[in-house]
Amino acid sequence: MPPGETITRRNLPHWFMPGAIHFVTYRLAETIPAEVLFRLREQKRRRLEQGLPEGQSIGPHRERIHKQ
């Protein structure tokens, strides 16, 4: 084990090394209230139904709406 490295155990092993870059992953499933999620899905559905802007193909159009 490198000097200064600490390993702790809770639900998962956790490594801490002073001066190192750490990556954190959050699980956000079910954190958006159901009514907000429903509203966002409806907005997306309406935008898709509006049709394509002139000169744009379906793939980039759907991707842009999905990212919004």
In this predicted model, what pLDDT tens digit does every residue of 50-61 receive, in sequence order? Answer: 888 888 888 888
What is the predicted pLDDT for the residue at 60? 86
Residue with tokens 């935008």: 47
Residue with tokens 């090394």: 17
In this predicted model, what pLDDT tens digit does every residue of 11-35 receive, in sequence order? Answer: 666 677 778 887 777 777 778 888 9
> Tokens for 14?
């956790």
Decide: pTM greater than 0.75: no
Reference 46, options 60, 65, 67, 64; nearest CA is 65
> Tokens for 29?
């499933």
DSSP single-letter state for residue 46: H
Q: Domain coordinates of the chain in residue numbers?
A: 6-67
What is the predicted pLDDT for the residue at 42? 95
The whole-angstrom distance between residue 13's C-alpha and the CA centroid of its chain comes to 24
Instruction: State the CB neighbour count (10 A cutoff) for residue 65.
Output: 15
